[in-house]
């Protein structure tokens, strides 16, 4: 082993030792947030198509609540903004801006563990036929709900105040 290879190995070992000192914990490791939240988050019932798509994507990540320990209240807001235009044709792209305001509460104690907002955007084209544009809009909406669910799960995984499993 050459001298420069040894320095890389020692630097890697030093970096590994520092991750434990800073409180780093694998998400799916013992006591990690992934294990704490798995099958334990009961979200509000869906009342719209977007709510259903959002919850379906969230349950793919966190699992269906079999023994709920946490209650998730959420509000989804989506705003569409036309982008790009062509004379005598109109808007050629639509950008969707989505937000989810959420509150995660411990069911047993009623303590609020996390409260925040996550954001995502999706874009679709309007230059095809009416059917193609409608399909593109529905697909963009579905992608937006999945991105919001993934952002929420990631945000919850990094929440420092979650009680251990």
Instruction: Domain ranges for the chain, please list them.
Output: 3-157
H helix and E strand count, the chain: 4, 4
Question: Structure tokens of 143?
Answer: 């992608």
CATH class of 3-157: alpha beta
Q: In this predicted structure, what is the pLDDT of residue 25?
A: 61
Q: In this predicted structure, what is the pLDDT of residue 11?
A: 63
Q: In this predicted structure, what is the pLDDT of residue 13?
A: 57
How far does CA 82 lie from the centroid of its chain?
A: 25
Question: Structure tokens of 146?
Answer: 């999945």
Question: Structure tokens of 144?
Answer: 């937006």
Phi, psi (degrees; rounded to nearest 5) at 22:
-90, 5
Residue linked to tokens 């001298």? 3
Phi, psi (degrees; rounded to nearest 5) at 17:
-65, -35
Q: Per-residue pLDDT tens for 9-49?
A: 656 656 555 555 555 566 655 556 666 888 999 999 999 99
Q: In this predicted structure, what is the pLDDT of residue 70?
A: 94
> Cβ distance 161 to 114 under 8 Å?
yes
DSSP 35: H
Closest residue by Cα to residue 101 from 44, 58, 41, 152: 152
Q: In this predicted structure, what is the pLDDT of residue 67?
A: 86
Q: In this predicted structure, what is the pLDDT of residue 22?
A: 56
Strand locations in 59-148, DSSP E?
Answer: 70-86, 90-106, 112-125
Q: In this predicted structure, what is the pLDDT of residue 30?
A: 58
Q: In this predicted structure, what is the pLDDT of residue 60?
A: 94
Under-50 pLDDT residues of the chain: none
Closest residue by Cα to residue 74 from 143, 158, 153: 153
> Cβ distance 122 to 96 under 8 Å?
yes
Q: In this predicted structure, what is the pLDDT of residue 32?
A: 61
């Amino acid at each position: 082993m050459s001298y420069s290879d040894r320095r890389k190995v020692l630097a890697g070992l030093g970096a590994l030792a520092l991750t434990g000192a800073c409180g780093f914990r694998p998400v799916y490791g013992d006591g990690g947030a992934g294990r704490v939240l798995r099958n334990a988050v009961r979200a509000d019932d869906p009342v719209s198509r977007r709510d259903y798509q959002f919850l379906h994507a969230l349950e793919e990540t966190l699992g269906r609540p079999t023994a709920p320990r946490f209650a998730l209240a959420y509000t989804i807001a989506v705003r569409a903004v036309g982008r790009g235009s062509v004379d005598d044709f109109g808007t050629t792209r639509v950008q969707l801006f989505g937000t989810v305001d959420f509150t995660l509460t411990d069911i047993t104690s009623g303590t609020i563990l996390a409260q925040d907002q996550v954001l995502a955007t999706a874009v679709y084209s309007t230059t095809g036929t009416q059917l193609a544009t409608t399909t593109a809009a529905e697909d963009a909406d579905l992608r937006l709900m999945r991105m919001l669910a993934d952002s929420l799960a990631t945000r919850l995984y990094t929440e420092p105040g979650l009680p251990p499993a």
